[in-house]
Structure 1
Amino acid sequence: MAIFECLEFFLIIPLIIYLSYWISRRGKKSHEPTNWPVFGMLPAVLQNLNRVHDYATEVLIECGGTYMFKGPWFSNTHMLFTSDPANIHHVFSKNFSNYPKGPEFRKIFEVLGDGIFNADFELWEIHRRTTLSLLTHSKFHSSLETTVWGKLETGLLPVLASLCKQGTEVDLQDIFQRFTFDNICKFVLDYDPCSLCVELPHIPCEKAFSDSVEPLLLRHIVPESIWRLQQRLKIGGEKKLMEASQTFDDFIYPLIFLKNGEQEDDSNMLTTFRKVYEEKHIGPSSGLRDFLKDTSLSLIFAGRDTTSTCLTWLFWLIATNPSAETKILEEIETVLHSKEEKWRRFNVEESHKLIYLHGALCESLRLFPPVAMEHKAPTKPDILPSGHHLPENAKLIFSFYSVGRMETVWGKDCLEFRPERWIAPGGRIKHEPSYKFPAFNVGPRTCLGKEMAFIQMKMVAAAIVYHYHIELAEGNRVSPRVSIILQAKPGLKVRLTKRDVY
């Protein structure tokens, strides 16, 4: 009798699961995940993990821009996902003080320590004010021009010329990551690691950034107990993240000590932040060296990955939209008079005249924002403009990737690459509010390096388009990587054809 009761029990289990599935699917949209008993909606995420950004976009579009994700019952991973500009404006601007980065954000991004990304309140204000003083220093623009053009002429163009002569495929994403890594290290640490040269050397720190961005995204999705276990066992993505963290330390600490004894310069980043640390008595209790390391790492992270990611997707979009390449080339020749003279450097003021190229960069940032999502949590209960109630410390995930792909925000042509949408009738750049275009973040935490990024990207893009025609390598199917930085997977393999420019 007991045997029959056991068999009956095990036969009933599939029926219960099926009924739960059927009930949970009633009235749901086609992409909306099923809320399974015990496991919640995690199976749908795992099933779509290799395209998680596009899957989140499909769900958000069908569900009006905001959706409550319910994780496994034991995991405390319920999260409200949103791409609603009104919600973004409310959290990042109107009710900014109620949404600090907080302890959950710091746990996820613990590798960045007390740098500007993790900082809140007084420490964040000091970071921001100090960084702004460096970016607005009288020497900054001339230093930026010298650094970018120097790396273009001694690194980027010689490397591309060598690869073009060999007739080999070029991974532009790798090239851009090396370029921006060298430049931001020069700005932050006053040191050029020369990762972008003809030999294309392996620089462990430069590669460690790419190794860290995938596990950082998974920490948003996987229950903390799971990734903490991986951390203790030193397996999976957490092992990669730990190795990356050690690599960052090995690279940055010696340079901090090397530069600390040199002559002081008020335009030097390390000197400036050392003075701030000593005057304000802020930062980690572990001391000055950790404060400078955390500060440097955050700025290098921002300078390498965001700019290189935008350039990567820009050239993918140009390669798949030949008419845009023609218009960019025509603008370069018109603005810089390059038909009458050889290629020449152009300054910051001249870069502002490249309107169509600016629009193309904005389209790249709209469709492929380098920071694809952001995590927030209220310190006090709140009600979003969408009507959703948030208890204290609720997990709120903003999909910046989805914002640029919503018809309700950008119109029916939202998936099209149209640089023209950024050009006002008078021929000037059209401004869009940051809560609609959050590529540089929103509100008080808007990226301080926005102008620096545009100047650098225009110089790089103009130089490459002027000298080379770019075609995607055959069979190179590109998609967004599953990572916190929206890199291209498996890279951007192209073939270069030198233009007859002389």
Structure 2
Amino acid sequence: MLPGLLRNANRVHEFITEVLKQSGGTFEFKGPCFANMDMLVTADPAIIHHILSKNFSNYPKGPEFKQTFEILGDGIFNADSELWETHRKTTMSLINCEKFYQPLQRTSWEKVEKGLISVLDRVSELGIVVDLQDLFQRFTFDSICILVLGYDPGSLSIALPHIPCEKAFGDAEEALLYRHVLPERFWKLQQWLQIGKEKKLSMAWVAFDQFLSPWISSKLEDLSKSGAEIDGRGTTSTALTWFFWLLAINPSAETKIREEIKTKLDVKDDQKWRCFTVEELRKLVYLHGALCEALRLFPPLSLELKTPIQPDILPSGQQVDRNTRTILSFYSMGRMETIWGQDCLEFKPERWISDRGGIKHEPSYKFPAFNAGPRTCLEDEETAQKKRKMDVEEMGDSMKSLENKTLDSKREMDNRAE
């Protein structure tokens, strides 16, 4: 098992999915005694529900998670117990405030209109191929910096300037993923020697500090720490990238979305795109279903690590000992026939539309795109979908796929704007 895991480190999610399918949805792995790699990996909804909801208190993030994600500090993503509750209450009070959404919508729209569309128009004139995920990452990076720091780094501009902090996010995410699949002693040795992915992570950490330090003193009360920035930049840009890639290889779905927008929002072909209201977005059922389907197949949070503080018996009857690494594979869940049927690998927005023409709501332990249990994303699913729909609609008419390419572990995609 270990050699196979190391050989497939660059396609770890696909490899885990293959093993889970052969193992009935859950498998246990016993690593070498010196490697601290004993783990249980699962895509079973009953076990997911048990760990994230029913027996939540027995599965904190724990010291191992905090050590793996040390770059996130003591923010909400690493916190447990009282510190986590304090972070969550503070963040909820911000998110539930109407004043939070007004600048969020204004900032997003201005970045779409003056940043994203301007860049797409320019590369369209020049016939240049662009990396779609790179554009989305720049879009979300600039937007979050404006909201959190009150500063626009201008990474999304015609020149597509190199900004060390923006690039550092990708390096950090890749290094943290490798920490999940490599023996702890191995990545710690790399860290000590400053080689491989750990060297890139250290350089990314320096880039974060250099970028944030000038703003911390003036924005200390508003700063959500680097963990929130990684989440906002990574999850949003990843979701948008996969959404457009799925539309590129499923042109019939793209056609239906365009027709739905034209029909239900009365948008003309020659009409300039605008910022749609929440009431208007509620009418776009097929688009909502397409976004849910993209999140099912490519959840921004692909896996989650949990460690029990006491021995536990899972719904499957398997026993996990104290401190056993328990990996929940949300990516694999979207590819299990036992959960989604024989057509689970197909992109079918229709699976989310009820007989009455509304959206079907699946339980979070079956569709954990926003996590599940007490740690569910602070914005409920409907609110997050509305925000994503706003961005997708505003961008949608500017993109036309040039060619479909196999995406690597960095999830890149090349497109031509026309």
Task: Indicate whether the TM-score tops 0.5.
Answer: yes
Secondary structure of 1:471's match? Answer: coil
What is the Cα deviation at residue 255 of structure 1?
Answer: 0.9
The answer to whether the Cα contact below 8 Å between 1:69 and 1:78 also exists between their aligned partners in 2 is: yes
Cα separation, 2, equivalents of 1:54 and 1:431: 26
Residue of structure 2 in register with 1:267 after alignment: none
Matched, 1:103 2:103: no
Q: Which secondary structure does the structure 2 equivalent of 1:67 belong to? A: strand
The answer to whether the 8 A contact 2:169-2:230 is kept is yes
CA 1:194–1:247 in structure 2 vs 1: closer, same or farther (change >3 Å)?
same
Match of 1:349 in 2: 279
Which residue of 306, 312, 334 maps to 2:263? 334
Q: CA deviation at 1:414?
A: 0.3
Shift of 1:399: 0.8
Instruction: Using the TM superposition, name which of 130-139 and 43-52 deviates more.
Output: 43-52
- Report if the CA contact (8 A) 1:141-1:348 is conserved: no
Q: Give 3-state SS (helix, strand or coil) of 1:80's partner.
A: strand
Are the counterparts in 2 of residues 171 and 494 from structure 1 also a CA contact under 8 Å? Answer: yes
State the distance in 2 between where 1:415 and 1:104 align.
33
Counterpart in the other structure of 1:195: 155
Corresponding residue number in structure 2 for 1:11: none
CA distance in 2: counterparts of 1:467 and 1:151, whole angstroms: 14
Q: Deviation per CA, 1:291-350, whole angstroms, max 9, x where unpaired?
A: x5xx32111111100010011001110000000010111111122211284432212332
Please state how far the C-alpha of 1:187 moved relative to its aligned partner: 2.1
Q: Provide the residue aligned with 1:299 in structure 2.
A: 228
Moved more, 432-441 or 459-468: 459-468
In the other structure, the counterpart of 2:416 is: 495
CA distance in 1, matches of 2:154, 2:139: 9
Aligned to 2:33: 73
Matched, 1:396 2:317: no
Structure 1 equivalent of residue 178 of structure 2 = 218
**More deviation, 170-179/214-223:** 214-223
Alignment partner, residue 207 of structure 1: 167
Conserved? CA contact 1:316–1:472, under 8 Å: no
Q: Give yes or no for contact 1:373–1:401 (8 Å, CA) kept in 2.
A: yes
TM-superposed CA distance for 1:178, in Å, is 0.5
Task: Supply the RMSD in Å over aligned alpha carbons.
Answer: 1.5
In the TM superposition, residue 465 of structure 1 has moved relative to its aligned partner by 2.2
Partners of 1:258 and 1:81 in 2: CA distance: 44
For residues 322 and 280 of structure 2, the distance between their equivalents in structure 1, rounded to whole angstroms, comes to 49
Output the amino acid matched with 1:493: D
User: Is 1:420 the equivalent of 2:350?
Assistant: yes
The match for 1:316 is 245
Hey, what's the Cα distance between the residues in 2 that align with 1:135 and 1:451? 14
Measure, in 2, the Cα distance between the counterparts of 1:120 and 1:190: 29
Match for residue 175 of structure 1 among 135, 138, 155:
135
- Greater RCO (Cα-Cα under 8 Å, separation 6 or more): 2
Amino acid at match of 1:102: G
Q: Quick one: which amino acid aligns to residue 314 of structure 1? A: F
| Residue aligning to 1:87 | 47
Between stretches 91-100 and 464-473, larger displacement belongs to 464-473
When structure 1 is superposed on structure 2, of 415-424 and 458-467 the one drifting more is 458-467
Q: Take 1:106 and 1:94, find their aligned partners in 2: how far apart are those partners?
A: 23
Shift in Å, 1:405: 0.2
Q: Deviations over 1:23-42 (max 9, x none)?
A: xxxxxxxxxxxxxxxxxx21
- In structure 2, the partner of 1:113 is 73
Kindly provide the CA deviation profile for residues 468-487 of structure 1, in whole angstroms up to 9, marking residues without a partner as x. 333326xx3224x1xxxxx4
SS at match of 2:369: helix
Q: CA deviation at 1:371?
A: 1.4
| Residue deviations 1:160-211 (CA, integer Å, cap 9, x gap) | 0001111011110000000111112222222222211111111111111100
Which one of the candidate residues 200, 204, 208 is aligned to 1:240? 200
Alpha-carbon distance in 1 for matches of 2:313, 2:240: 38
Cα distance 1:162–1:344, how it changes in 2: closer, same or farther (>3 A)? same
User: Residue 41 of structure 2 aligns to a residue in which SS?
Assistant: strand
Which deviates more, 338-347 or 415-424? 338-347
- Shift of residue 452 of structure 1? 5.4
Aligned counterpart, 1:378: 308
Contact 1:99 1:377 in 2 (8 A): yes
- Tell me the residue number matched to 1:369: 299
CA distance in 2, matches of 1:62, 1:185: 44
Query: Which ranges in structure 1 are unaligned for 5 or more consecutive residues?
Result: 1-40, 261-269, 272-291, 482-486, 498-502
What amino acid does structure 2 have at the position aligned with 1:211? D
User: Is the CA contact (8 Å cut-off) linking 2:6 and 2:181 kept in structure 1?
Assistant: no
Confirm or deny: 8 A CA contact 1:145 1:347 kept in the other structure: no
Residue 388 of structure 2 aligns with an amino acid whose one-letter code is M
Q: TM-score if structure 1 supplies the norm length?
A: 0.80
Q: What amino acid sits opposite 2:14 in the alignment?
A: D
Q: What does residue 436 of structure 1 align with?
A: 366
Quote how far apart the aligned CAs of 1:50 are: 2.5
Instruction: Tell me, in whole angstroms, the C-alpha distance in 1 between the residues paired with 2:216 and 2:386.
Output: 27
Query: CA distance change for structure 1 residues 451 and 112 in 2, over 3 Å: closer, same or farther?
Result: farther
Please list every run of 5 or more consecutive structure 2 residues that lacks an aligned counterpart in the other structure. Answer: none
Q: Which of 456, 464, 467 is residue 398 of structure 2 equivalent to?
A: 467
Q: Distance in 2 between matches of 1:89 and 1:78?
A: 22
Q: In the aligned structure 2, how far is the partner of 1:353 from the partner of 1:309?
A: 25
Give the residue type in structure 1 aligned to 2:215: L
C-alpha distance 170-452 of structure 1, shift in aligned 2 (>3 A)? farther
TM-score, normalisation: structure 2 = 0.96
Structure 2 CA distance for partners of 1:467 and 1:50, relative to 1, 3 Å = closer
Using the TM superposition, give the Cα deviation of residue 451 of structure 1 relative to its aligned residue in structure 2, in angstroms.
Answer: 5.0
**1:428-449 Cα shifts (integer Å, max 9, x gaps):** 1110011101111111101114
Q: Tell me, in whole angstroms, the C-alpha distance in 2 between the residues paired with 1:342 and 1:233.
A: 55
Does the Cα contact within 8 Å between 1:66 and 1:83 map onto a contact in 2?
Answer: yes
Q: Percent identity?
A: 58
Q: Provide the C-alpha distance between the structure 2 equivalents of 1:75 and 1:465, rounded to a whole number of angstroms.
A: 47
Deviation digits for residues 228-267 of structure 1 (CA, Å, limit 9, x no counterpart): 111111111111111111111111121112335xxxxxxx
Aligned to 1:52: 12
Contact 2:311/2:320 (CA < 8 Å) preserved in 1? yes
Q: Which moved more, 1:359-368 or 1:450-459?
A: 450-459
Which AA in structure 1 matches 2:82? E
